Amino acid sequence: VRTEMWPWQIAQLSGGIVLLTIVVPAVTILVLQRRGRITQWSIPDRNERIVPYLVTWLSYALLCILFNYYWRMPSYIQLTGVGMYVAVTLICIINLFWKISAHLCGIGTLCGATFAMLWVIYSGNIAMLVLLVLLSSAVAWARLVLEAHTPAQVFVGFVLGFCCGFLPMMLFYV
């Protein structure tokens, strides 16, 4: 297990994560909107979300491959990538039938993975958990205030994400 990374490795890893989880999905939405395939940036129509979700799904698949084979990340990072990939896969499937909050699923995955990591290493880092709960609450509040989702969509998105972040690590380490 790698315990330290060179600065260029940290920059490469961080850049890859930002590119594949933020830039690629955002640029996809921007291009589709400019071409008239998406009517609004918030994509309220479930059918318009199919292509952005599929591109995001492919992006996360590539991220998992990079974690596992190119960057050779420790298993807990690989498991977090798998959890993110499973979450995006489930969002794609659920989107065919019902709208779910992908934003809350994302922050829920981060919360679940962080909670699992802290549990596995027996860390009582309450400050980290409180910060994540506050951040999650802010994202949830924003989605509700913007009327982008119902409370049920926000709740289910968070729970789905939390489970996808938490369970892979718990199944592997416990």
Instruction: Give the sign of the dihedral formed by CA 80, CA 82, CA 84, CA 87.
Output: negative
Is pTM beyond 0.85 here? yes
> What share of the chain has pLDDT > 70, as a percent?
98
How far apart (Å, rounded) are the C-alpha atoms in residues 165 and 116?
8
Which pLDDT band, with edges at 50, 70 and 90, does 77 fall under?
Answer: confident
pLDDT in tens, 33-44: 999 999 988 898
pLDDT in tens, 38-75: 998 889 888 999 999 999 999 999 999 998 988 888 88
- Say which residues have a Cβ less than 8 Å from residue 110's Cβ, sequence separation at least 6: 132, 161, 165
Q: What is the mean pLDDT of residues 127-151?
A: 96
Return the structure tokens found at 136.
Answer: 């999650």
